[in-house]
A and B are shown apart, each in its own frame.
Chain A
Amino acid sequence: MQDNRILLNDSEKNRYNRQMIMFDWGEEGQIKLKKATVFIAGAGGLGSSVAIYLASAGVGCIRICDSGKVELSNLNRQILYTDDDIGKKKVLSAAQTLSKINPNIKIVHLFEKIEKGNISKLAGNAQIIIDCLDNFQTRYIVNEYAVNAGRPFIHTGVYGMAGQITFIFSPETPCLECVFPDAPPPEILPVVGTTAGIMGCLEAQETLKYLTGRGTLLKNRLIVLDGDNLTFEELHLEKSPSCKICSSKFN
C-alpha cells in the first residue's frame, strides 16, 4: 500500500512526539497528516492562527491563498507577520515564516483573489477547505465549490469578541447558504486578535480531527463564541430543501 511508502524520519518522530503519544494518533495518524493537503482561504487573523498550528502539527502540504499585502492595521491580529513585513505579499511572508516553523512541510502560496473561475485551481487537490475569509461574498464562492466538489469546508467568522464555527460537508450537513442566505453589508469589522486566535485554533483542531479520523466533527452544529461573557452557544443546524446551492444534492 502507498501508506507504507511515506515514513517519518527520526527528527519528525521527535518533533511530533507529544501528539503521537496520544491514544489513537501514533505513527499512523502522523503519516495521515504528512500525506494531507489543505487549502487555507485567507491569510489574515484566522489564517495566521490556522496556518501556524497546521504547519506545527505536520500537515504535509498547506495551500494558502490571499491577494492582500501586509498593512500596519493587520498586526493586532495577524500573528504571522511583523513590522518588517509591511508592504509584502501576505502569502509570501506567510510561506517564509511557516517554512521556518516547520521545514519538513510544503507550503504553496497563492497570491490571488478567490473567484468563481479560479477556486477549483486554487484549492487544487486539497482534502479540506478552511474558511479564513473576511466577507460572505467570497465565502459563498468557496461554499458552492465545496458543495459541488464534495469537499469538507470549515466555516468560521469573527466579529469583535465574537466568533462562529461549523463543519460543512454537504450533503451530510447544511451548506453555508442554508443557514446564512443573505450576506451582511460589507464593511470593516472590529476584530480582537485573541478572538481570531481562538476561532482559528478551533478550525485547525477540527482539521486535525478530520485528517486523522478522530473524534466527532462539528457537523450540523454552529458554535457561537461570546467572548465578552465567555460562553459558547450551540445551535442545531438544518439543511434547507429550497437552498439553491445544495438542495439538489439531497432532495
Chain B
Amino acid sequence: MKLTHTQAIQTALCLLALAQAGLSHADAQAGAVIAKNGTAGIAACMQCHGGNDVGNAAAGFPRLAGQNVDYLAKQLADFKAKLRTSPLMGPIASALSPTQMKDVADYYASLPGWKPAPGTPPGSALSVRGAQLAQHGNWDKGMPACFACHGVNGAGIAPHFPAIAGQGAVYIANQLKNWQTGARLTDPQGLMKAVADKLSADDISAVSAYLERPTNPAAGATP
C-alpha cells in the first residue's frame, strides 16, 4: 500500500492523538457509563452515591460530584490497597481497573460542585461551634482551621486536599472517627490524622453539622 504525503501526515497525527488519549486513561464518558449502569460484576455507582450524584447524606454515602479528580482516583486506589476499609465500597473499588478508576473519577470531577443553598443559614449552637473549628481551628490543642488545608469555605485545594463543604454530616463524622481509630490511613504525612486526634466527640458532631451546610464567613475575614 502506498501512502501519499498527506495521508502519511494524517496517519501520524492520528496515531499521536490516539496515543495521547490512551496515555491519559481519563475518559469522562466511559466513566459516566459505569456510574449510571455499572459494568461486568460492578454495581452502578449511582445506586449508592445518588441519582443526582450528590450522595445519600442519611446513609453516609458521600457526595462525589465536583470533587477533585486526583483525590477521587487516589481514594479508589486506596480502597483497593486496603488503606481505607468499607464493606460496601471496598469490594467495588477492588473490582475496578486503574483505567476505570480514572474514568469514573474524571466523570464525577466534571459534574458541578456543591454550592451553598440560599436561605437563612443554621444558627444553632452546634453549627456556631462547628464554624469556629472550620474557620479558626482550635489552637489550644494546636489544631489549625479546617479551611487552612481544605481551602476558602471548604472548597478544596487540588490535588491533595478534597472539598469538604456540602458533604453529608454522617459521612464526615464517620471519616473523622476512622482517622481516630486508624481505620483510614490514606492521608499524606498523616496530616488529617493529626487533626482528627485533636477533635472531641462533641467537636466532631459540631464540625460535621456545620460542614453539611456551611455559611459564607464574612468576606476576607478568614485566612
Does A associate with B in a complex?
A: no
> Which residue numbers of B lie inside 8 Å of A, CB to CB?
none
Instruction: Enumerate chain A interface residues (CB-CB to B < 8 A).
Output: none
